Chains A and B, each alone.
Chain A
């Protein structure tokens, strides 16, 4: 087992994927190295995947946007004959601790959402070209693509065999995308999801499981044609172009588990079971235009900050599972930060401005579904403005300093909203965080909107409902300490459940159903003896002995 799971990688280190770039088309080959599992004790046969495979895929998807913006169509296919992808590796799953399984599923869900949304967000359409077995998580990969092609060779098929084979669910969006995205009739979805065997040929089209079937001998040609056709149908601006390189992060780990990046600092307090993330706003003004921004490349502060924060969150999720409370602070000049953001907002039709903003959207969503207690501390000298103000609304609670604090000569704490808080960063429920926050008082959203660009000090911030509580010099330390101690004393399970329920008010979307309903059911099943008990199906898989079920319906 690796000491630490690292989410940073680059194409020179890929074990499982390769990409051939051909103008507007990228051919993405999944060719999983059997011996390249992240942990010991299993082989990644038949293009099955573990977290390591998915970390590379997430990297591919991210680089596709920033480094290869000219790509309009990504053809996801297998580099192995006879199999597209057999899904998540079962021995890995049966050997993994519960929290790893849950985190693994969450991360893979986020990656699938990211490439699924790439068409809408970035004009990059993912096409699944399926030849051979496409089972379970393999079909879930295809389901998240924007178009699925299946060869018609009378043996290639798509299937979701989790229920009959493993007594768990197709939990990486599988069940939800069947009904919500592909709108498969529920009785057919029922048959499909309870059969070990796949559906192939015409029935796969009739049941809406794939978009088209293709004559086997012409498959490669038709896939190429389709990719070219999709690429030609692109009607957005043609400006890109050349991408920018995403270099390695500037990152140091300390003995005590703390991590420091260039603009992000993560302090670890194991005794207090908390991590404090401090974000640093930019010291200087922004580039004059997007050409200048592109010149800064991955060093442009708005991009650097997003990448570092993203990595920090993933690191905490996987490598620091006992830090139940994440405190988010920031320091910097709000006006400078807003100037940086304004460049992006004003030139949103520039591909790179769009990508950076879309990336922030994904990072913020990642924070939304991070199962730690999140609290923002709005201190003097902080820069909760524009995109960083979103953190206040992503957090479970926020506390703000009110008035002068003795011996503290930093600028008085303030919060400044920008246009970005009103539509640019929707949550999974498709509402903004402010809309979700003020679900019962939509007038408050309008009132807040009228304050765009105005720095709100504590009194106003409280009046507009932007923070949970404001505290003066006398109360601050004690109140914060008591809150943290209390939080640390609660059951982590209850916290996770309570927070996840309170965070996503309002309408359901496919995304909330995946992260809420499907994931919750899956995680429940992941703790049940019928799946993971000594004689549960997941544990017995591969031994030849069948799992034994407790027949009681719960």
Chain B
């Protein structure tokens, strides 16, 4: 009997999907497994592979106690396959099959629509680990290092989750796609990752925090909409991934927050009130708020591009087919089929930004992006409260969605972060104040010095309010291997 709540360890691969009884998939996964371990070992610097890291491992899908914390060497991490418990008599929540029983197998007619969704989701998971591979070397504390690796191993597990779906439900094609997920790699000249934003290196820790805040949140929105899928195994898989994803965004939000907090504190100690007194603030060894805003502008806009074209036939097809829903689909008050609904979007007409109503079905991406923006605004408000509390005058803001876009209707037009259309020259002139410059990057890089004493933190970032797993401030989150 398959224990849906608890992991079974009767195969090499911990799972709650009855793998030991599913010889075909087990064989495929076991064949894939060595490639995955190689990928991991080649990726993460050896020093860290041999270190003991205090990580949580998913051992169950019981919401009350799904994870267990302990020291583990990362290559021995138990990447497993976990699906959230099935909902009894679950129905397809949207599209033309709305109300029909959810599919437990891939419907033949939607195989071609479904597979790329899983492949693209699967492709982003290892990509972010690749992007972040060198950050361990400059971790501002053992606490942060542990968080980085926690995010990394869980992204690795998310890859497993997608590979399982490909191998179990998509036959030979699926197995080939699973192999290709290890073949592509971030920034590679030979076989880059599928989405542009996942081919950029994450060069420093502030970028990492911004990435986990903004880009993992795109991941969250994608998972949320796939969790609404009428293809039940995908839905259950994504629902469980979401529980892990929350921690990634927590790492991002608190990381940026702690950076801001430390900057405000240093400014107050030095008696600097003007946030734009950049030189003096940087001399304190902290990152000035305008530069943090620039990083925010960059990562937010890159993440908006991940939502794709505003008008999307693929997204419409997927929604109508019932294989991808919207964010919190069941809570939306409409027919969930969008037969006649419209949706309000920004467009450019004669060089002016205007809002207009278009068929909602082709604007699924757009709606998800709007939901994303609302979701992303929350943390920004909390960052501003830190600044406020420090008594400084500065406000972090999400730029207008038309700023710095490479995909969609705004691509190819020059807007400032307020949403004003600019001439090329005006745009060039404003750019150094809106997006990080090389000099900004060099400055941040100069602060990236590793700190590996338990309880100690680099000078540009504050300690967290509470420890992971309620551990005390001087807890040794990583026992580093000393060669």
Contacts and interface: CB of A to CB of B under 8 A. Distances in A.
A interacts with B = yes
Interface residues of B, number: 26
B112 A195 contact: yes
B190 A544 contact: no
B191 to A, nearest CB: 4
- In this complex, which of B194, B317, B321 has the most chain A Cβ atoms within 10 angstroms of its Cβ? B317
A444 to B, nearest CB: 55
Interface in B295-336: 313, 315-317, 319-321
A8 interface: no
Contacts of B317: 544, 546
Interface string B101-136: 000000000001101100000000000000000000
Nearest to B184: A154
B112 A197 contact: yes
Interface in A531-554: 541-546
Contacts of B194: 155
A196 interface: yes
Residue of A152, A154, A216, A546 with most partner-chain B CB within 10 A:
A154
A238 B121 CA distance: 55
B277 interface: no
A497 interface: no
A496 B282 CA distance: 80
A545 B364 CA distance: 13
Interface in A195-233: 195-197, 215-217
A322 interface: no
A526 to B, nearest CB: 20
Nearest to B173: A197
Given A154-B183, A155-B184, A197-B116, A545 B190 contact: no
A310 interface: no
Contacts of B173: 197
A31 to B, nearest CB: 13
Interface string A438-468: 0000000000000000000000000000000
Contact of B191 (A154, A197, A541): A154
Contacts of B180: 154
Contacts of B189: 216-217
Contacts of B113: 196
Interface in B160-211: 173, 180, 183-184, 189-192, 194
Contacts of B112: 164, 195-197
Contacts of A152: 190-191
B362 interface: yes
B281 interface: no
Contact of A543 (B184, B321, B362): B362
B96 interface: yes
Interface in A170-213: 195-197
B391 interface: no
A546 B190 CA distance: 37
Contact of B115 (A197, A542, A545): A197
Contacts of A217: 189-190
B260 interface: no
B359 interface: yes
B190 A216 contact: yes
A543 B190 CA distance: 36
A121 interface: no
A333 interface: no
A320 interface: no
B366 interface: no
B113 to A, nearest CB: 8
A195 B116 CA distance: 13
A119 interface: no
B44 interface: no
Contacts of A543: 313, 316, 359, 361-362
Given A197-B115, A216-B190, A217-B190, A544 B362 contact: yes
Contacts of A154: 180, 183-184, 191
Contact of B320 (A164, A215, A545): A545
A59 interface: no
B320 A544 contact: yes
A36 to B, nearest CB: 14
12 contacts: A153-B191, A155-B184, A197-B112, A197-B115, A215-B190, A216-B190, A542-B362, A543-B313, A543-B361, A543-B362, A544-B319, A544-B320
Interface of B: 96, 112-113, 115-116, 173, 180, 183-184, 189-192, 194, 313, 315-317, 319-321, 338, 359, 361-362, 364
Q: Lowest 7 CB-CB distances: which A-B pairs, in order?
A: A544-B316, A217-B189, A544-B361, A154-B191, A196-B112, A544-B320, A542-B313
